[in-house]
Structure 1
Amino acid sequence: MTPFEWILTVCIAVMALSLISGLVLVLRTSDALTKAVISDLVFYTMICIFLTWTLTNPTSIGYEVALLAALAGGVLPTLSMARIISKGRR
């Protein structure tokens, strides 16, 4: 393994620890707002892990996943967070 691959492996390990701690927090909390924020953290962490993995393992859909994640990760969580904060009122 090259030094770059070692650095990416360490980065993926740190992101995986963040993902696991977020999942534990989702299971332990009862607040809906906290669950919504942590679900965004889990989503972004999974996307980051995938995109970091694609730096050394080329895939044919890496770019498309990044675009879809940007679209779904930028617009949809903002709308859902607004609905959760306002308790469904418009």
Structure 2
Amino acid sequence: MSAFSVVLLVCGVVCALALLSALVLILVTRDVLSRAVLADMVFYSMLAIFLIWTFANQTSIAYEIAILAALAGGVLPTLSMSRMISRGRR
């Protein structure tokens, strides 16, 4: 294993632990707003794991998928979070 592979493995483990902790917190917490924030954390940690995987396994469309997910995942959760906080009022 090269040094880069070790770094990718450590990054993947850290992201996986963050993903699992967010999933546990979603199940434990009762607050709707906290669940919404944790759902965003789950999405972004899955996106980070995908990007880590693409560094080790090259495909032709991997980065386009990540950019699309970041754009859609950056705008839509922000809008839904603002709706949840304002309770649907405009």
Provide the TM-score with structure 2 as the length reference: 0.95
1:5 Cα deviation after fit: 0.3
CA distance in 2, matches of 1:37, 1:13: 21
CA distance in 2, matches of 1:58, 1:33: 37
Can you give the 5+ residue segments of structure 2 that lack an aligned partner in the other structure? none
Can you give the 5+ residue segments of structure 1 that lack an aligned partner in the other structure? none
Asked if 1:68 is matched to 2:65, the reply is no
**1:1-90 pair list within 5 angstroms:** 1-90=1-90
RMSD: 0.8
1:47-90: CA deviation from partner (whole Å, max 9, x where unpaired): 00000111011122211111211211111011000000001111
- Which amino acid in 2 is paired with 1:10? V
What is the aligned residue count? Answer: 90
1:9-42: CA deviation from partner (whole Å, max 9, x where unpaired): 0110011000000000000111010000000000
CA distance in 1, matches of 2:64, 2:30: 35
**Which 10-residue stretch deviates more, 39-48 or 54-63?**
54-63
CA distance in 1, matches of 2:15, 2:70: 18
Provide the TM-score with structure 1 as the length reference: 0.95
More helix by share: 2
- Which amino acid in 2 is paired with 1:76? L
